[in-house]
Amino acid sequence: MNKLQKIIDTLSEEDLVKIKRDLVAGNVDRLINEKLNKISYGKLDNKKCPVCGGTITENNYSLEFGASYLRKRAYFDAVDCLEYFIYSKLKKHELKH
């Protein structure tokens, strides 16, 4: 049995009717998105900008790079830092190849 089936099995008829209503109204999608956003924001806790050491907030810039099997994601607090990172780190790395 998959996880969703297990969760549904534990719910009462009343809960299921309410959830079905929320599903039709699009609330389930919204709630899941809110939860996913909270999780990804939680992962940013104590993260620092690799360029200036500034704190990474919800308003950040991120860059994904590296081979597809080894993706890396770096977070920056400002566009200037992102720009600096691209030119100083990635460009130098590219030139070596």
Q: Tell me the C-alpha distance between 79 and 76, whole Å.
A: 7
Residue 74 or 77: the one with the smaller Cβ distance to Zn ion is 77
Which segment (26-34, 41-49, 62-70, 85-93) binds Zn ion by CB under 5 A?
Answer: 41-49
Q: Tell me the C-alpha distance between 42 and 44, whole Å.
A: 5
Which segment (18-26, 31-39, 57-65, 71-79) binds Zn ion by CB under 5 A?
Answer: 71-79
Residue 81 C-beta: closest distance to Zn ion, Å: 3
Near Zn ion in 3-32, by CB under 5 A: none
Q: What is the rounded end-to-end Cα distance, in angstroms, of the chain? A: 49
Residue 81 engages Zn ion in binding (rule: CB under 5 A) = yes
Residue 51 engages Zn ion in binding (rule: CB under 5 A) = yes
The answer to whether the Cα torsion of 89, 86, 82, 47 is positive or negative is: negative
Helix axis angle, 13-25 to 27-42, nearest 10°: 90
Instruction: Tell me if residue 61 falls in helix, strand or coil.
Output: strand
Kindly tell me which residue out of 54, 65, 84, 89 binds Zn ion, with binding defined by CB under 5 A. Answer: 54
Q: Where on the chain is the footprint of Zn ion (CB under 5 A)? A: 49, 51-52, 54, 77, 81
